[in-house]
Amino acid sequence: MQLHNNAYYLSALGIVNALGNGVDEISHKLFSGDTSGLVLEHGWQADGEARVGRVQSSLPEIPDAFSQYACHNNRLLLGALAQIEALVASAIAQYGAQRIGVVLGTSTSGIAESEQAVKAQQLAGVMPEHYHYLQQELGMPAQFLAKYLALKGPAYAVSTACTSSAKAFQSARNLLKHGLCDAVLVGGVDSLCKTTINGFASLESTTQEISNPMSQHRKGINIGEGAALFLMTKERLADASDIVLLGVGESSDAYHISAPQPEGLGAEAAIRAALQDAGKTVEEIAYINLHATGTLKNDEMESRAVARVFINGVPCSGTKPMTGHTLGAAGATELAFCWMAIQRNQLPPHVWDGEADSALPHINLISTGHTFGPSKPRICMSNSFAFGGSNVSLIIGEQANSII
């Protein structure tokens, strides 16, 4: 009995976002369609309130020995790590620190601390003593995590906007596949900051209402924050999950710097590439977590791509109305929701007003209470799309489904 050549274990998951802290709390709220984590707050924009998916649970402090890495982004990362730290320690003991890598996706890193430092400089004429430029570097979260755990393997970040942490899984898999690592900490982390919120607002892509993906009344996204961190391994560890990464599909249509290709041709290419990589047919996919930002153009192109590939339909949902769009962390976060779905035999609901846009092709958007069919393997796809035409689809499933 041997795993498919492209399949590797997603042995453990740590996660924190607007839904809560940890798999148990987040699962409960996710499967019930809880949107209470999205709140209207002042202070993010000069011209009024913004609805954001802010983490409100307590987070670990950054130890004094790592003060140059001290930022909210890394506290989110430590919050996720704390949930799987025992299994990570076991992997370090088994494989050695030099055989464990770190690959993270991010788009903000610690830019919020830079915003505060620049504001302080404007008032006082000098940068605060506690500020380090390192805090905002995009590669910093991976560097911090490796140093925090004293790991000696490859450690780097991927930053491709909203596909960042989805693309991290391809990189992590390559480290395992080519024998550079025996285990990789892989995922994504992004934190709220004014730069991002005002940037998306300037593109007229945000809304103060809770996002309403695929609806004829959709008006845009809410920005969120969070971290999702997996331990990916070549072999199944004791007391670990038997869920595996089955396939990755990537494409770059480079249609426009910010607008997606209207027909979803790049998205379709990524979806089909993931199916081919996993060795799966469309009929074997039991659930899709859609990118589903709630913007006019993204939902239009994604629904067209999904409808063309899955002509007989497949249960789908977009989960951003419960977390906000966590940007560089979205790919890992929403793959984590698929991981939870497989574990709990529940499917995340599509939270919206139920008023479909007649200009979009019909896709099977599910409500609360759905489970995997009794005769269908638990195999899920997660889609992520980004500026510049970057497209990624990931497929995961139960270990038994990848045995050859």
State both tokens at 212. 């309403």
Q: Catalytic one among 72, 132, 325, 370?
A: 325
Distance CA 74, CA 191 (A): 9
Distance CA 260, CA 268 (A): 12
Picking from 106, 175, 117, the residue whose alpha carbon sits closest to that of residue 141 is: 106
What backbone phi and psi angles, to 5 degrees, belong to 8? -140, 150
What backbone phi and psi angles, to 5 degrees, belong to 219? -125, -10
Residue for token pair 């995997």: 372
Question: Known catalytic residue: 362?
Answer: no
Question: Known catalytic residue: 325?
Answer: yes
Question: Known catalytic residue: 338?
Answer: no
Indicate the SS3 state at residue 96. Answer: coil
Q: Catalytic one among 72, 132, 162, 181?
A: 162
CB 165 within 8 A of CB 188: yes
User: Residues with Cβ < 8 Å from 235, sequence gap 6 or more?
Assistant: 9
CB 381 within 8 A of CB 395: yes
Picking from 202, 73, 86, 200, the residue whose alpha carbon sits closest to that of residue 144 is: 73
State both tokens at 20. 């809560």
Query: Which run of H or E residues covers position 397?
Result: strand 390-398
Q: Within 10 Å of residue 46's Cβ, how many Cβ atoms?
A: 7
CB 252 within 8 A of CB 229: no
What backbone phi and psi angles, to 5 degrees, belong to 394? -120, 145
Picking from 375, 325, 308, 321, the residue whose alpha carbon sits closest to that of residue 348 is: 321
Indicate the SS3 state at residue 165. Answer: helix
Residue for token pair 């919020």: 112
Enumerate the active-site residues: 162, 291, 325
